[in-house]
Chain A
């Protein structure tokens, strides 16, 4: 199996652009820890699935040899720019694209100058790959895909990596509970906006750590609906698909609020 590790990261820019704010700084530190664990696994490629890269028609994958630019978040523009510069694992991306036909998903490569790389992918790359050590395969979140299609995409990406004996880390980028503060808050006092969401997030993180796949999968639909989880937790589906629903262990490095929504940093050992 060529998946050397996996991780779940929040895609919010807040820990990256304002790590001086204690609640967000804790998540930044946790993402750096995840980065060290990933580095120790010596992957060649990161396969990134980010909930914030919306696709509607096809399943899109970045196929430009190098993605470079400066992104300004649509909502958090006051906190500055997100520069990015990373290489794509073209061979693997181009292998995955035809392979998704097996589950009747039409995939397409995206190779355009100025293509708007999403905030989540940029933030994940910044924390895991600041030294530009790895190449990336980046998958979009097709809004019409459900849990099982996303799970299948993770599985197919992992299988293609396996076929090439590529050492890969799978990275699911997205949030936990989705309710957030709609107006101004004192950011130093940020917290999960609803106590019931906080309880749900903790329960699900415990299930992830316990490694009881059956119980976890059973809980996800109710969790996704009741806690308004970011994109139905499809980022976890992608990770579990890549891992074949099995892992030897998982560790939570950080959990906290992102303007009222939930975010966690989790690493998985295959």
Chain B
């Protein structure tokens, strides 16, 4: 067996509005569309993912919050209906997915070896959160690639941001080791919004795009600064200012997915490809790709 590797990482945010706007058969509510630029961004990301031919998708979601450790989906097949508690009017999705339990177990074991508390989620009745589902649906609506789902331990909120993100860094290292030992081609999905200031009222209908814009200018400027750095491959600089970005833009990257993904990839100073940016109920969302195959850092399929 050849060594496994991470072939790409994507910043793949999870506003349920994107699923709602697309009207897939799995989602109950119907829309007249909306948020097209972001959905077209995901179309480009889908094509790229297809070419990468990964064996497994790993997704870290801020809407599976755990207090005691970092948890991993650990049931081979999960199905059910996931209703977003915040936007139940937009997201009532019947999901069905296969979990790469072997890799999830390996990630948990590597995390534990590095000193983290880790746990496998073995309950077959578990309802997968809407963050995990939205990111996976937007990246791969066919649902034909096994998944490793990681919870967001609340350490960045319970401890300081810096202490919490240090844990996410360790989680990323553990994830990388497990992938390398697995022999598999893995794609990492960081399910995070950037600036997270949002409107407190929903337009009627919610897909009325004449009402959609950044909630505030400072947050927008922060998003552009971060995206410019990432497009230029200035990753170290991005992480240097990340705590300030989190503080001032209320950025959802605080929950750790973005740090986990970059730690697993070894923080390559690699220009990210922006597939698109757009706001959802005022929050800033970028779909971005770091393709390690194109960069010569991973093998082509």
Interface residues of A (CB under 8 A from B): 53-58, 70-72, 74-75, 77-78, 80-81, 106, 110, 112-116, 118, 144, 180-184, 259
Contact = CB atoms under 8 A, between A and B. Distances in A.
Contacts of A110: 88
A116 B83 contact: yes
B40 interface: no
Contact of B125 (A78, A81, A144): A81
Interface of B: 64-69, 71, 81-83, 85-89, 92, 117, 119, 121-123, 125-127, 129, 151, 155, 158, 198, 200-202
A43 B127 CA distance: 33
B83 A182 contact: no
B142 to A, nearest CB: 23
A74 B82 CA distance: 13
Contacts of A118: 85
Contacts of A112: 83, 88-89, 92
B204 to A, nearest CB: 12
B83 A72 contact: no
Given A53-B85, A115-B83, A77 B126 contact: yes
A116 B127 contact: yes
A73 B151 CA distance: 13
A114 B86 contact: no
Contacts of A71: 127
Contact of A80 (B69, B123, B202): B123
Nearest to B87: A57
A80 B125 CA distance: 9
A259 B68 contact: yes
A53 B83 CA distance: 13
B33 to A, nearest CB: 21
Contact of A115 (B85, B122, B155, B200): B85
Nearest to A111: B88
Contacts of B123: 72, 77-78, 80-81
A133 to B, nearest CB: 27
Contacts of B117: 182-184
Contacts of B200: 57, 144
Contact of A78 (B67, B88, B122): B122
A74 B64 contact: yes
A261 B81 CA distance: 32
Q: Nearest 10 A-B pairs (CB), nearest first? A: A114-B81, A77-B123, A183-B117, A114-B83, A72-B126, A112-B88, A75-B66, A72-B123, A72-B125, A115-B83
B52 to A, nearest CB: 31
Nearest to B85: A116
A127 to B, nearest CB: 21
Contacts of A78: 119, 122-123
Nearest to A54: B85
Contacts of A114: 81-83, 92
A106 B202 CA distance: 11
A81 B65 CA distance: 17
A259 B259 CA distance: 28
B169 to A, nearest CB: 17
A56 B86 contact: yes
Nearest to B198: A56
A35 to B, nearest CB: 26
A182 B67 contact: yes
Interface centre among B68, B83, B155 (most CB of A within 10 A): B68
B151 A74 contact: yes
B68 A72 contact: no
B201 A54 contact: no
Contact of B201 (A57, A180, A259): A57
A116 B91 CA distance: 12
B68 A183 contact: yes
Nearest to A71: B127
A56 B252 CA distance: 15
Contacts of B126: 72, 77
B68 A75 contact: yes
Nearest to B84: A116
A224 B129 CA distance: 29
Nearest to B159: A182
Given A56-B86, A81-B123, A75 B92 contact: no
23 contacts: A56-B86, A57-B86, A57-B87, A57-B200, A70-B125, A72-B125, A74-B65, A74-B66, A75-B65, A77-B122, A110-B88, A112-B88, A112-B89, A113-B83, A113-B92, A114-B82, A115-B85, A116-B127, A144-B200, A182-B117, A182-B155, A183-B68, A184-B117
Contacts of B86: 54-57
A74 to B, nearest CB: 6
Given A110-B88, A116-B83, 12 more contacts: A53-B85, A54-B85, A56-B86, A72-B127, A74-B66, A74-B129, A74-B151, A115-B85, A180-B68, A182-B67, A182-B155, A184-B117
User: Which of the listed residues B69, B85, B86, B92 has the most CB atoms from chain A within 10 Å of its own CB?
Assistant: B85
Contacts of A115: 83, 85, 88
A118 B65 CA distance: 13
A181 B68 contact: yes
A144 B201 CA distance: 13
Contact of A180 (B67, B87, B92, B119): B67
Nearest to B129: A74
